[in-house]
Structure 1
Amino acid sequence: MINSSPLEDAIWCKSSYSRPADGCVAVARTSASVVGIGDTKDPEAGCIVVPTDAFDVLVSMIRRL
C-alpha cells in the first residue's frame, strides 16, 4: 500500500522541556524532505507541512533570538 500522506508513518516528537500535561508544538521529520508541525493540545486539528529546508531556516532564526 502506498501512503497517501508523507506524514502517515512519521514519528512525532515534542520538546523535552514540556511537561506531559502541557500542550506543545510537535514536529515530525520524514524521508520525503518535509516536516510536519502540529499542536499536541489539538492533534485532530491537523498539521502544517513545510519543506525541510524552510523548517531548518525557521529553527536557525529562533535560536538567534
Structure 2
Amino acid sequence: MADCPNIERNKAECTCTYPCGKKGLCCECVRMHRAAGEIPGCFFSAEGEATYNRSVRALCRDRGA
C-alpha cells in the first residue's frame, strides 16, 4: 500500500461504497479505473455510485449528459 500523507482526509471524504483496498488512495484508485476504462465512484451521485457501474456511459446517464 502506498504511503499517502492525505489518506485519512481522503478516506473521510470518499463517497465510494465498494469494499476496496484503495479507499483513501485516490491516485491508485484513479490509476486502476483508468486502466479498466472506468470512472472512480466518487464522480457519481450517491444513486449512480450504488450501481457499481463505473462506465463512462453510466456516468453520463447519472449526470444527465
Q: How does the TM-score come out when normalised to structure 1?
A: 0.28
Which structure has more strand as a fraction of its residues?
A: 1
Structure with the bigger RCO (C-alpha within 8 Å, sep 6+) is: 2
Q: Which has the larger radius of gyration?
A: 1
